[in-house]
Amino acid sequence: RKLPDTKMTTAAALARTASIASSSHNDTVVMNNTNNGGGGRKLLARGTRLRERRQRRRRRDVTISPSSSLSADSASSSSSSQSGTTNDEFIPQSYWVAESQTQFIAETKLPTDKGFYRLRGYRHRGPKTHVITEPTCMIYGNVEGLENVPVRVHDACFTSEVLGSLKCDCKQQLDMALEYIRDNELGVVIYLEQEGRGIGLANKIAAYKVQESGADTVDANRKLGLPDDIREYSAVRNIVDDLNIKSVALMTNNPRKINELEKEGVNVTSRIPCVTKANLFSEKYLEAKERRMSHVLNDSWRYFDNAGQVFESKDEADAKGDFSDYSMTWDEEDELGNIAAKGIH
């Protein structure tokens, strides 16, 4: 593209170079020269029009219908070949998911250490945040068109499911749900990207830091100005509709989750408890879930003692457990030099 024939000062040339380097999509150069007769402004307007026209073409080429089962890779290559764009210029399809819409992308067979499952992938735009997420669901058996299908709606927990954290029961509940639908040869586990009850991974780590000073999971969020729970379940409704599931038996301990799903229009006919055994590090978290967030745990967080023994019931724990107060903290050692060996208070 030719520029107007004009002299450029050293400062203007440097400004031009910086402008070109600052953006890969910069279609024009505005010269800081009063003698260019408005040429810079004309080029800017022309570049803006060209950029908008190119974006409209991309948007038309990459939009997919909700019923499309194209994989991300095949859709990417298809739209790139149609529009003539390179991989660097390609705009992901997920940018164009309609508001509050959940798009089915693909299904595959997945072998796991627990058995063989059907794995389905979706893209979803949140109705309030407008953030694009990618829900998935693990399916065992043919659930389409059935009633009272066992369904677990599980929210992501990177710290426990990937890093092996013992501070919560999330990984245990996920494993329990996958094993339940396998053993019963029917069911669905819907996995949502809603880390830390919706506040996100970094905020969750910040809340963990606050908890080190003694706050529980609810108070830690509030001290950081974060909500107790902002998870939403419109994607679940759409996935249940996509699978043509008439009603669900929900695997949960959380009354709020039942209420939110019913508000979304999901027909919840019964509840399947997902109570796991606590450990020395998850006791306080589970206690807060039951006492402050009304989770139905039946005092399961009491089923172990300060020596680390685990019992099958609260009565057995009360009868046989060692509940001496060792008054240890994270940084203190006992008489044998063990750190937090006999309980954390």
Q: Got the DSSP string for 218-264?
A: HHHHHHTT--S-----HHHHHHHHHTT---EEEE-S-HHHHHHHHHH
For the four alpha carbons of 143, 149, 155 and 157, in that order, the dihedral sign comes to: negative
> For residue 58, what pLDDT is reported?
59
Collapsed DSSP state (helix, strand, coil) of residue 310:
strand
Q: Nearest to residue 72, comparing CAs of 85, 84, 62?
A: 62
Which residues form the catalytic set? 229, 231
> For residue 15, what pLDDT is reported?
56
> For residue 339, what pLDDT is reported?
41
> For residue 282, what pLDDT is reported?
84
Low-confidence residues of the chain: pLDDT under 50: 6, 20-36, 61-96, 326-345
CB atoms within 10 A of CB 62: 22
For residues 170 and 149, give the distance between their C-alpha atoms in angstroms, rounded to a whole number.
22
Counting beta carbons within 10 angstroms of the beta carbon of residue 45, is it exposed (0 to 12), middle (13 to 18) or buried (19 or more)? exposed
- The strand pairing partners of 140, in sequence order, are 187
Residue with tokens 């910069």: 26
- Return all residues near 115 (Cβ < 8 A) that are at least 6 apart: 140, 182
For residues 269 and 250, give the distance between their C-alpha atoms in angstroms, rounded to a whole number.
8
